[in-house]
Amino acid sequence: MKDPIFDLIEGEKKRQSEGLELIPSENYVSAAVLEAMGSILTNKYSEGYPYFDGVGCGRANEDDFEEWGESRIAEEILPNYRYYGGQENIDRVERIAIDRACRLFNADHANVQPHSGAQANTAVYFAWLEPGDTVLGMSLPAGGHLTHGAPVTLSAHVYNFVGYGVAENGDLDYADIEQKALECDPKIILVGYSAFMKIPDFDRIAEIRKKAEEKFGHEILLMADMAHVAGLIAGGVHPNPLDHGFDVMTTTTHKTLRGPRGGIILSKGNVASPLKKPEKTLANIPILIDRAVFPGTQGGPLEHVIAAKAVAFGEDLQPEFKEYAANIVKNAQTLAEELKKYGFVLQGDGTENHLILADVKKSFGFDGKLYERALDMVGLTLNANAVASDKGGAFRPSGVRLGTPAITTRGLGVEEMKTLAGWMKQVADICKLVNSEEELAEHLDELNKIRDEVRELALKFPVPAI
Ligand code: DSN
């Protein structure tokens, strides 16, 4: 009997090919990434780390790299710190992933084992905080992430999160951050978000950290969760927090980085001695993080996913990736301008990155959920999202969030952004005529006509690896 999962995967291939993906946190991986992820490396257990003399779990020695390139890493005899035998291939895979991650983000140390962005953030908190310690991060309604202290999360039960907001112009509210940093005695100041369209002033946050450290007399960890924009950083079109005084950067590997689903943690500094219990100082961050990932919060690493991360990082290091990153932003800015012409009110009045947040309630009177459903019916996928000071709640928010990483991977450009904005306006006009998702059925003919046009365009830009 054929497993129904087979047909469902085939159905998903069709959905992805015939529609256009506008969810800003999604992307399409290459055939090589997919192959590594589906490889027999999934059979192997490898708790521990591929530390080896003089290198730790960080970037390969620069002189060695100049002379040998990656072959040095692939040939080195590795006295590893693993708990299972048979690691001669796995160790090399993970070392290459670590080295490429460091090169991509100008980091000294990378932990490539987190299973996700949430796990990466959890490990950083566990590495640095004691229960009850305070983290100052962007609040969820302002555009922050669940793992930055939403009350429903485990972290929020263990640590004390204080939230800052965004200013009227959509930028970070630096005055609010400074005031709260000097009041709440934070152990971590966190910059990161899943719905924010500006480029943060990392130097300004670093200055705020300094003032708070002077006031409270202890070290404060500066942490950036760059899951959304990591590919823009790697592509050189967004500043890198590690170059602006930040100690730690976490990111997922699947969004703008175009790798497999997973997380990584990057930092400056080296692992001194993996066997000694380290003190909680900023100088010890790399080893504190390694210990917090394994055995602190995870067991066996997913080495097939780590191999796929390595392949993706190898792709991200190529010159073409810079062009891709620049095109993501160009497409997002074009789409934002076109939407504004059609009357869409955008938070922050546009975008400086890959992401657009449109307040459809304010623009047209219907909510984000209805619009998400109607766009789904024409093959355009995005998600309903709260806007600043939203009164609609989590289930009927006033806005929608969209972005260009995935469609830029498929090769859509500025002309197609104009077509896309036109379809979004046509669907908005239909939504204005209905009061519920059920009533959209009365407009099936118009919606199907747009659906055919979307399909025709989508099929001209094939999904990589399908
Ligand atoms: N789920 C991701 C996003 O869509 O932004 C964040 O984890």
Q: Place 60 in a pLDDT band, splitting at 50, 70 and 90.
A: low
Q: Mean per-residue pLDDT for 22-35? A: 98
Q: Reply yes or no on whether 164 is catalytic.
A: no
On the question of pLDDT at 76 being above 60, the answer is no
Active-site entry in 21, 91, 94, 225:
225
Minimum mean pLDDT among 60-69, 117-126, 395-404: which range? 60-69
Q: Place 196 in a pLDDT band, splitting at 50, 70 and 90.
A: very high
Active-site entry in 153, 251, 252, 256:
252
Q: Reply yes or no on whether 255 is catalytic.
A: yes
Instruction: Show Cβ contacts of residue 217 under 8 Å, excluding neighbours closer than 6 positions.
Output: none
On the question of pLDDT at 77 being above 60, the answer is no
Of 363, 262, 276, 357, the closest CA to residue 33 belongs to: 262
pTM of the model: 0.95
What would the two tokens of residue 273 be?
A: 């001695």
Q: Mean per-residue pLDDT for 254-270? A: 95
CB 448 within 8 A of CB 442: no
Residue 88, pLDDT score: 86
Residue 121, pLDDT score: 98
Residue 194 CB less than 6 A away from ligand 1 = yes
Compute, in angstroms, the gap from residue 121 CA to the centroid of ligand 1: 13
Ligand 1: atom nearest CA of 26 is 4
Closest residue CA from atom 6 of ligand 1 = 194
Q: Mean per-residue pLDDT for 375-401? A: 91
3-state secondary structure 31-79: HHHHHHHCCHHHHCCCCEECCCCCCCCECCCHHHHHHHCHHHHHHCCCC
Reduce the DSSP state of residue 346 to 3 states and report it: strand
Q: Reply yes or no on whether 49 is catalytic.
A: no
Active-site entry in 18, 26, 35, 47:
47
Angle at 249 between CA 103 and CA 48, to 5 degrees: 75
Tell me the average pLDDT of the chain: 93
Ligand 1: atom nearest CA of 117 is 7
Q: Place 134 in a pLDDT band, splitting at 50, 70 and 90.
A: very high
Residue 27 CB less than 6 A away from ligand 1 = no
On the question of pLDDT at 328 being above 90, the answer is yes
Residue 1, pLDDT score: 85
On the question of pLDDT at 259 being above 60, the answer is yes
Other CB atoms within a 10 A radius of the CB of residue 88 amount to 10
CA–CA distance, 85 with 73 (Å, rounded to integer): 19
CA distances from 331 to 321, 337, 355, 365, 405 (A): 15, 10, 10, 27, 9
Minimum mean pLDDT among 57-66, 100-109, 174-183: which range? 57-66
Closest residue CA from atom 5 of ligand 1 = 194
Q: Which domains does the chain have, with CATH numbers?
A: 40-316 (3.40.640.10), 326-458 (3.90.1150.10)
Residue 56, pLDDT score: 52
On the question of pLDDT at 81 being above 90, the answer is no
Q: Place 55 in a pLDDT band, splitting at 50, 70 and 90.
A: very low
Active-site entry in 82, 100, 255, 451:
255
Q: Place 64 in a pLDDT band, splitting at 50, 70 and 90.
A: low
Of 176, 299, 327, 312, the closest CA to residue 253 belongs to: 312
On the question of pLDDT at 200 being above 80, the answer is yes
Residue 75, pLDDT score: 57
pLDDT in tens, 146-157: 999 999 999 999
On the question of pLDDT at 413 being above 60, the answer is yes
CB 180 within 8 A of CB 162: yes
Q: What are phi and psi of 330, to 5 degrees?
A: -60, -45
Pocket test of ligand 1: the residue of 21, 25, 196, 251 to mutate, having most ligand atoms within 8 Å of its CB, is 25
